[in-house]
Each structure stands twice: as C-alpha cells, then as structure tokens.
C-alpha cells in the first residue's frame, strides 16, 4: 500500500515524510466528517439559545481545500477518493438544506444549493486534471505549511470564538478562516503567476474575503439580517474564487515552471551583484580624482 500514497516525482521532497503523506489523505476526510456532524447537530439540536454550532468544521474546513494535492499515485484510487469527499460534503450540505427547508428560509436554501453545485463542479475539475490529464499541482504543500496552518488557526480562532459562544448570534460552518490561511499560502507563489486571469482572481478573492469578514463583524454587532445575508453571499463568492484559483494552477499557461523561476531569480541575484560591484568600482575610481582636486586646490 505505501506505493499507492506518494508525492509526484516533480514535487519537492524536502519536509515530507510518511506521517505527512497520510495526514494529507486523512485530514480532508476528517474535515468533511466534522462538517456532517455540525450540519446534523444543527438539524437535531436547533434552539433559540445557540451555544455551539459549526465550531469543529470551521476549524478543520481548511483541509478540504487542500485535497487538490492529495498524494495518491493510483489514478483509480484518486478518483474514488475525490468522489468520496464529494459525497461526504454533499451529505453535510443536504443537512443544512433540510434545516432551511423546514424554516422556509429561501435565501439560505439558494445559498446552500450554490455550495452543492460548487462542490460538484470542483470535484469534476479535480478528477479531470488530476486523473485524466495527469496534471500535478503547482501549489506544493509541505509539512511546514501544515504546521503553519495549525499555528495560525490558534491566533485567528482567538478572535472568532466569541461568535460561537454568543447566545444571540447563530454561527454555522464558516470558511472565512480557511480563506485567510489559503490566500496567504497562495500568495507565496505569486512570483510564478503568469497571465491576467490567475492574478486578477487572487486579488478579487482577497477583496471578497475581506467583505465577507467585515459583514460578519457588523452582523455580530448590529444583528441585522441584511448583513448576515451579505456575509453568506460573499462567503460563497470567495469559495468560488478559491476553487477557481486551485483549478487554474493546474494549467501551465497560468504558472511559470519552477526551472524558469529559479533561472529568473538567479539572473536577478547576478544582476544585483554586478550592480553592486559596479558602484564600488565607480566609487574607487572617483576617489583619487577627488584627492587630486583637493591637492591642486591647496
């Protein structure tokens, strides 16, 4: 079985071990399982006083977005893995849809229907690029990124936990924390972006996440339904942009190869070194002339 779970040959190998590889396989399943738990907990424990809703899945949801780089070598197993994750996510979304159908909340029904459609489309693209086209991800995830996500979660959750313990503000599974972590991770590869679409997608993604979080805070203070709706809508838009960015990075037209990026960085370093040496030489050449002028003056 170990030969079934390994990183592609073109992926960086430092900072990756068996524990990391299995974590990348298991964590998305655990995240989807927590999403199902939170959805049906809300379905069967709906109350006017909301002491807990969506906290576990909000913490773990970031790992569902990292499924694009799951290190499974067998294409059949990989396709089955993506289908399994899709079914788990749709099961949780159906739970939320049942809740809002009972409440006849048509706006949230439309929003969660959008989440369901987005999940299906994203899964189809992942299977197409990873299984049929044999494309490898350009956003490489290493163990250091995994620990970085966990450490950042501790800080961000210290800010967001008041939403979950509030008695008046029902808060379900939120993706905004995951988006904060992801666009920081994506931006590390910005130097390899090429083309208008992937760059503009990242900028719009950041703006959408900012609006989503801002309206969440306003809703927490004002408790007006319009801000809750705006937050949910922009969260869905952010998810669309995030998944679009993940899909775009599979295309070689949107990403510079690592070899070209390394050559460009090496050329920049050589150019900087040459410029520095030139400035030093010019300074040493002008110094004797200055001394000569001083002697002539005296």
Tens digit of each residue's pLDDT (9 = 90 or more) over 122-137 = 999 999 999 999 988 8
How does residue 196 score in pLDDT terms, banded at 50, 70 and 90?
Answer: confident
Strand partners, 255: 193
Summary count for the chain: helices (H), strands (E)? 9, 0
Q: Confidence band (pLDDT; 50, 70, 90) for 7?
A: very low
Distance CA 240, CA 260 (A): 30
Task: Give yes or no for a contact between 153 and 181, defined as CB atoms under 8 angstroms apart.
Answer: yes
What per-residue confidence (pLDDT) applies to 9?
38
Q: pTM of the prediction? A: 0.78
CA 48 to chain centre: 33
- In a 10 Å sphere around its CB, with 0-12 CB exposed, 13-18 middle and 19+ buried, how is residue 171 labelled? buried
Side-chain-side CA neighbours of 131 within 13 Å: the count stands at: 16
22-62 per-position pLDDT tens digit: 888 999 999 999 999 988 888 787 655 555 667 788 888 98
- The Cα 18–Cα 23 span in angstroms is 8
Write out the H or E segment, with its range, that includes residue 176.
helix 176-187
Q: Does residue 288 register a pLDDT over 70?
A: no
Average pLDDT over residues 136-162: 76
Strand, helix or coil at 253?
coil
**54-103 residue pLDDT tens:** 778 888 898 999 999 899 989 999 999 999 999 999 999 999 999 899 88
CA pair distance 160, 156, nearest whole angstrom: 6
Mean predicted lDDT score pLDDT of the chain: 79
What is the mean predicted confidence (pLDDT) over 189-193? 81
- pLDDT score, position 26: 93
Give the model's pLDDT for residue 258. Answer: 61
Interval 143-166 mean pLDDT? 71
176 contacts 212 by C-beta, under 8 angstroms: yes
């Amino acid at each position: 079985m170990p030969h079934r779970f390994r990183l592609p040959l073109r992926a960086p190998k430092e900072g990756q071990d068996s524990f990391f590889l299995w974590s990348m396989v298991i964590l998305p399943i655990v995240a989807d399982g927590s999403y199902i738990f939170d959805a049906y907990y809300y379905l069967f424990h709906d109350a006017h006083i909301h002491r807990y809703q969506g906290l576990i899945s909000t913490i773990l949801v970031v790992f569902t977005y990292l499924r694009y780089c799951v290190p499974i070598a067998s294409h059949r197993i990989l396709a089955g893995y993506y289908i399994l994750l899709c079914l788990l996510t749709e099961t949780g979304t159906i739970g939320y849809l049942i809740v809002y159908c009972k409440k006849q909340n048509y706006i949230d029904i439309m929003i969660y229907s959008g989440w369901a459609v987005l999940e299906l489309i994203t899964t189809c693209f992942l299977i197409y690029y990873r299984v049929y086209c044999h494309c490898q991800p350009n956003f490489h995830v290493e163990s250091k990124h995994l620990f970085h996500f966990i450490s950042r979660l501790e800080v961000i959750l210290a800010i967001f936990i008041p939403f979950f313990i509030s008695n008046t503000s029902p808060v379900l599974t939120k993706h905004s924390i995951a988006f904060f972590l992801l666009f920081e991770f994506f931006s590390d590869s910005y130097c390899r972006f090429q083309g208008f679409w992937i760059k503009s997608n990242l900028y719009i993604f950041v703006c959408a996440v900012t609006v989503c979080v801002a309206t969440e805070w306003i809703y927490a203070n004002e408790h007006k339904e319009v801000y809750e709706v705006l937050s949910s809508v922009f969260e869905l838009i952010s998810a669309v942009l995030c998944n679009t960015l993940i899909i775009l990075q599979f295309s070689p037209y949107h990403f510079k190869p690592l070899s070209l990026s390394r050559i460009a960085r090496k050329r920049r370093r050589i150019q900087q070194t040459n410029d520095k040496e030139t400035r030093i030489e010019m300074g040493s050449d002008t110094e004797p002339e200055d001394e000569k002028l001083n002697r002539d003056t005296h």
